[in-house]
Amino acid sequence: MKLRKIVGGSDAAGLIQEEEPSSGSYYGSIENDSHTILMTKLNNNHDEAQQGITDVVHGGEKPMNYFKDGLTPIDFALVYEADLQEEDKVQDENEHHTQKNVHYTWRQKFLKKLKSAGILIEEHTVLKPKKTIHYVLLSAPWDVLCYYAEEMNLRVPLQTMPNQSKNWSAEILKKMQIPNLLHNELPSLPVDLYTCPFKTSKLSLFLGSSNKNTFFSNTQRHQIMHEILSITHYGDVKKGQVGIQRMLNENAFQAAFPLHDGSYDIPSGSTPIHTLTYRQILFRYWAKWGKWNKYQPLDHVRKYFGEKIALYFAWLGFYTGWLLPAAVFGTVIFLFGIILMTRDLPAKEICESEGQFQMCPVCKACPYWNLSSICNTYKAGLLFDHGGTVFFSVFMSLWAVTFLEYWKRTNAVLVYRWDCFEFAYIEERPRPEFAAMAPTTIRNPITGAEEPYFPKRRRINRIITGSMALILMVTVVVMFLIAIILYRSIIRLVVTKYGLVALAPRIASITGSVVNLIIILILSKIYIFLAHFLTQWEMHRTQTAYEDAFTFKVFLFQFVNFYSSPIYIAFFKGRFVGYPGHYSTLFGMRNEECSPGGCLIELAQELLVIMVGKQVINNIQEFIVPKIRGLWQKYKLRTTKEGMDTDAYISSWERDYTLVPCEGLFDEYLEMVIQFGFITIFVAACPLAPLFALINNWVEIRLDAHKFVCEYQRPVVERAQNIGIWFKILEVITYLAIRSNAFLIAFTSDFIPRLYYQHIMESNLKGYVNFTLAYAPQNAAHENNLVCRYLSYRENDGRPSITFWNLLALRLAFVIIFEQSVALVDDNEPENAESGITVTHCNSPMANL
């Protein structure tokens, strides 16, 4: 539809037909014992009860940001900076047309449109040595709020009910009468509410409707104002000159944000707990590092930041909790590898072989070498390549499947409690940018309303065009992968020529991993910028569809970017080497072989460098970069008042302007999902991966909490039904992880060959080393005038031996058995319980409106 807009205060006021609420006119009463005092007030003094109900509904929300009159609440702040003489120059008719003049014109048109829409505006100016900073404060009056609340289907409360938040671990500990060290005693616990979409004609039926100042919560006022800012045009609509985001991109405004509810710092002295704002509560009971071992206050997070951010922290906390058993089991498996390393008979044979096994050169100019020289490397490989990793791989495959199933249930319970269960399918409106840019409208067959429309055929054409860019970037990643392979081969040859045969593979692998990590991070930044542009160009109708399309593009690229090197090492490296006299080559260089300790230890090393290295770099960035940006912003905005303490005069909008703009949750989700892939797809190679992930996530929760509470400008609240397309991506990763671990154990590890040798030869693995080595063909031995050995199951003429084919059959059989065993457990998982919740949802009072 062509969005309705308020063109003047008088017109907007005509939309509202207020009905004065009468006693007992609410949809249900507050029946819980904890709210008895409110019922008493309701019977004695209706107006006083209304304020009490408002306090229950909005909890610790204490608005403290007002215009100069002390009565008009500030809903949004716009900021722009200008040279001291810029305004005077713009008014000069002879002044030539500059970019600054264009920005001035755009701002004037934009603010004029806001005024015509009924928005109240107050401007504050702060003088700096070389520039002027303008703070434009916006407030939506009651009639505008009602108009857009109905237009946006905002949900408002009908009836309160006791908070139903539960924690399974707390309940278990309570039954066992064990003190719960994770418990976090929180003030101002938000109540649960029955809600329904706001209707002006039903105004008297909503809780707190008699108090216009507090009926809409702060976050709802922010949502309404953001909607208005997003659809207001300031120039040619066909050129996309619509909305505050475009003006920010064009630097016409430097910032646009809702204000935080005061400072997060708690005043010194004895401050009553009930007087704390939600921001102060979150800082005191959540964002502090000392709260790392406490339950997250998800209801408070949801109340202050909205459902979308709360669901992210709920998922992150749930995922971190599930990592604990995986980390413990993985550590036990790693310790078992240390014990096995000291007792393994093949390792002992290699270390004591001395000159018994003379190995073929790794290049034409390289010397022969003794197998005993890789004693320590082979033992190190046993830390990751032993029978215990098989059981750990099975465990992690089942863990991943079960984790997703139980998250479905947790997500369903949360969104039901938070009234978002049907949001994505019924309530979500078109994106403001889409509504403003759509070339035409179409009638919705369900609601009958006119809605903005972009032809599906044109969108598909644009998506196909964007896919070409994705393919191009993936090709670039593959090119860099080949370059890394050649780099490792060259480094290995150079180091080998200096006589460091045993160290050459390790040096080449470690340096190659570091170079690969640097390339990965650089390509990620480039493609994310490109994906933003392409997704915006594709014109997706809803914010969910927009984010899903953007996420799919970026993750598909990041999957290739991050996982291409580990996949190559796990499944391709050392498979196409050939044999002495008939080596395969790539660009004239001999194909890479696995290191003497096997490819599994190389894969573990690659995982640790990429996963742990990326986590360390990200955490440093998340900790240091916002602080540096904040300090730099404060330095630029330092006041010029002589002899005065600047902190004593700074306003809330000035203080919030010094904070870092919130960049959303995409990077946070991407980091965690990439990590999930590392600890599931390649976990057979590195049992310690879940432990490193657990440690990182404990830090990540606290870093993210501190960023949102203390260092970010307040984001506009967004509703959400789930974690979006990320869950589908997690399901795909889990599916790939089961197959990947099956093939890793079967084809990359020594598990199947050792089991085969124990069955047909010696149960104690005596002579296993000789069993795995083949003799070089006579023609190759004649050229070098010496017979040498190499790692393979081949006859003396280079043909695959019968052992090779037997092992191939066993490996394929193991893959099938492994996959089917995990799939059997997956099929036995109970169906998601969402259907039952839906039935309950329909029985709530909101169904009667």
pLDDT tens per residue across span 113-133: 999 989 999 999 888 777 888
Query: Does residue 24 surpass a pLDDT of 70?
Result: no
| Top-confidence residue, 664 or 46 | 664
DSSP state of 285: I
Highest mean pLDDT among 552-556, 687-691, 827-831: 687-691
**pTM assigned to the model:** 0.80
pLDDT on residue 684: 83
Torsion sign across C-alpha atoms 595, 597, 599, 601: negative
Q: Which of 308, 155, 320, 223 is nearest to 724 (CA)?
A: 308
Rounded CA-CA distance 295/182 in Å is 6
pLDDT on residue 141: 93
Residue 50 binned pLDDT confidence (cut-offs 50, 70, 90): very low
Query: Does residue 140 surpass a pLDDT of 90?
Result: yes
CA distances in angstroms from 184 to 124, 179, 281, 298, 327, listed in the order given: 41, 12, 12, 11, 25
pLDDT tens per residue across span 562-571: 888 888 888 8
What count of other Cβ atoms lies within 10 Å of the Cβ of residue 99? Answer: 10
For the chain, the C-alpha Rg in angstroms (whole number) is 32
> If phi over 0 gives left and psi between -120 and 50 gives alpha, with beta otherwise, what is residue 561?
alpha
Burial of 6 (0-12, 13-18, 19+ CB in 10 A): buried
Rounded CA-CA distance 144/12 in Å is 6
Q: Residue type at 245? A: Q
pLDDT tens per residue across span 419-472: 887 765 555 667 766 766 777 777 766 656 667 777 778 888 888 887 887 788
Structure tokens at 473: 């970037």
pLDDT on residue 762: 85
Instruction: Check: CB of residue 62 under 8 Å from CB of residue 127.
Output: no
For residue 26, the Cα-to-chain-centroid distance in whole angstroms is 41
Pairing outcome for strands 789-791 and 773-775: antiparallel
Rounded CA-CA distance 475/143 in Å is 55
pLDDT tens per residue across span 207-242: 888 888 889 999 999 999 999 998 888 887 666 678
Highest mean pLDDT among 80-84, 272-276, 492-496, 700-704: 700-704
For residue 88, the Cα-to-chain-centroid distance in whole angstroms is 47
What percent of the chain is modeled with pLDDT above 70?
80
Helix, strand or coil, per DSSP, at residue 5: coil
pLDDT tens per residue across span 755-813: 999 988 888 888 898 898 888 887 765 555 677 888 888 888 888 899 999 999 999 99
pLDDT on residue 327: 94
pLDDT on residue 194: 83
Query: Does residue 60 surpass a pLDDT of 60?
Result: no
Across the chain, what does the average pLDDT equal? 78
| Top-confidence residue, 497 or 796 | 796
pLDDT on residue 34: 33
pLDDT tens per residue across span 339-355: 888 888 888 888 888 87
pLDDT tens per residue across span 641-653: 443 444 445 788 9
